Structure 1
């Protein structure tokens, strides 16, 4: 990805062409490997956050790191009592605490974390973690899918930081609509996997002659319509989110549910059409299904759809073609 320029090209997605490009790259990577897609999506998120909220020197350092092929990530989830910043001297601090579900723990180069400052604010901190493998504990990441993300624990205790690591003002991380609408990126990764699953299902139906069965064709047709429809939602969500449109949040939240439905229906169709062969470990269908089954469990999917529906009920947007 570094050789192809993908690590650096999407820091700036201020044009429709760049947005479409990011959508397509996320889909392509998700179709190849969902764990890699998850890592890449987090890298893009981190780079954009540093670019948006960092100062000029921090943006220059970001550019140098990306030119060198360094991979970034964002970690927010944490076990109690959470990650905090402790004053150790003028402009010198240390971090105390751990992050959990830390994608790429022990393997990334730079990580953007949220940590509580002395006032209780949630501060973004950029930490160099290359070589800090002893701080990572992936032993608890025993899951059926997405094993390659190595989403374990990472202990930041006593790690020193300086002013160069403090990104933006406290609480900018949850600035809307960027915070909630940014979820469109992982829907694009998931969509890529659903599209790959449809392709594998098609190949199976053609190779085995099952495509001559009208029941199989009807099942396949459902997968096509669900996936193509989800693709329209994802692309529109991307454009609304990256231009920070007022309606971006409910649209992205609803898109999460649309992609989830497409994924669940396609996984079930593939299992029913291919049968036992789809459950063997060497099967691409099995690999995608295991990874996608976990990845679709992103936080509170039911709440996301409920928030979207509530927003539409509160705001009469049906005459506004920007939704579509």
Structure 2
């Protein structure tokens, strides 16, 4: 059972693969249940992987983003909800690094690695119901945020609110258990059912000035503008992991359970030329998405290592690489999650298998922001050589 010492020994990749095997065994059952994957989250805490992207100087593994994305994808193939909250945890840590001062992020990194904190999200820039008011040497946050992935069962939150007087977006790192913060168990969507992406309510929450990430602040420099690109890169890897998982399940069921269609005049489904052709198309799509996604991660690492010296043009090149990979992962994944039943056959729709969860998970998550706008950004670059304008979604 989880957690187990055998799941926490070895390299990050070895740990991730052992955890993924354990998570996969209960993924379909937990999809039916919904709610919080508490056992699995605690296994991640015990594994040390919550410190994966934290530099070694602060007690972490010191992994680069390519390796971190590989682990997100490994976990996501087993259970996309787990990959989601794990990836967003590291996005929240990166938010502190990109928007905050050295004094802020170094202390939070150290405590996260030492105490195995899980970070959750309450930063939804399109939901402007949360308002902040100034009270001398502290600020009040009041209101609500939706789509707060991983907030439940977290130790820390990245939260945002609009200044009541100026409308300025303020972002803070606060303990989830602080007085006035309540996390609702109201996530009941068709997919990503164990991400707890519901509502967080702030009722006159006291936020200290030193908890506000204002140095350099949100999207204030090309380096700070890497934050939305990391978010998009994490989403891309999650989408790709769902497509890979659907492919693996389709292959498994086609080889072991599917019966050939009588008109094919073959003894095995694996000999049907139409089935073989579809698996060929699945593979080509996945291989293209994998190459583009890994290239995007490598370019992101290069940009990250540039730090404050990163230019707008360098940031723009990374944005295009990630947008391209995201389009490929989305389109390929949705195709496989739908067409997998064409190759696996009618018996693959049995409710106990819950193979439909792949489509439900991907369809739910790919609505994060419309793919059409990613394609428009890419098209604008190809025609006018204009880089995507930095925002929380590009």
Q: Normalized against structure 1, the TM-score is what?
A: 0.87
- TM superposition shift of 1:198: 1.1
Give the unaligned 5+ runs of structure 2: 1-43, 57-61, 258-267, 304-313, 388-394
Whether contact under 8 Å (2:100, 2:214) holds in the other structure is yes
Give the unaligned 5+ runs of structure 1: 318-324
1:163-182 matches, within 5 Å, as: 163-169=209-215, 171-173=217-219, 176=222, 177-182=225-230
Name 1:73's counterpart in structure 2: 120
SS of match in other structure, 1:126: strand
Alignment deviations for residues 283-323 of structure 1 (CA, whole Å, 9 cap, x no partner): 25222222122112221211011111211222399xxxxxx
Whether contact under 8 Å (2:81, 2:194) holds in the other structure is yes
Name 2:296's counterpart in structure 1: 237
Which of 256, 262, 286 is 1:207 aligned to? 256
Whether contact under 8 Å (2:243, 2:333) holds in the other structure is yes
In the alignment, does 2:275 pair up with 1:216?
Answer: yes
Whether contact under 8 Å (2:148, 2:198) holds in the other structure is yes
Task: Return the structure number with greater relative CO, CA threshold 8 A, min gap 6.
Answer: 1
Q: Normalized against structure 2, the TM-score is what?
A: 0.73
Residues in 2 aligned to 1:107 and 1:160: alpha-carbon distance in whole angstroms:
21
Bigger Cα displacement from structure 2, 107-116 vs 280-289: 280-289
Name 2:183's counterpart in structure 1: 136
Residues in 2 aligned to 1:222 and 1:31: alpha-carbon distance in whole angstroms:
20
Residues in 2 aligned to 1:215 and 1:133: alpha-carbon distance in whole angstroms:
59
Name 1:41's counterpart in structure 2: 87
- TM superposition shift of 1:115: 1.8
Residues in 2 aligned to 1:36 and 1:132: alpha-carbon distance in whole angstroms:
28
Which of 217, 226, 247 is 1:198 aligned to? 247
Which of 302, 308, 312 is 2:378 aligned to? 308
Whether contact under 8 Å (2:92, 2:120) holds in the other structure is yes
**Cα-Cα RMSD:** 2.6
In the alignment, does 2:70 pair up with 1:27?
Answer: no
Which of 273, 281, 284 is 2:351 aligned to? 281
Name 1:321's counterpart in structure 2: none
Residues in 2 aligned to 1:296 and 1:61: alpha-carbon distance in whole angstroms:
31
Whether contact under 8 Å (2:155, 2:177) holds in the other structure is yes
Name 2:199's counterpart in structure 1: 153
Residues in 1 aligned to 2:126 and 2:102: alpha-carbon distance in whole angstroms:
33
1:47-58 matches, within 5 Å, as: 47-58=93-104
Cα distance change on mapping 1:40 and 1:239 into 2, 3 Å: same
Alignment deviations for residues 143-197 of structure 1 (CA, whole Å, 9 cap, x no partner): 2111211211111121111123111347524755414422111111221121111
Residues in 1 aligned to 2:48 and 2:284: alpha-carbon distance in whole angstroms:
33
Name 1:112's counterpart in structure 2: 158
Cα distance change on mapping 1:307 and 1:81 into 2, 3 Å: closer
Whether contact under 8 Å (1:256, 1:305) holds in the other structure is no
- TM superposition shift of 1:229: 0.7
Residues in 2 aligned to 1:314 and 1:61: alpha-carbon distance in whole angstroms:
42
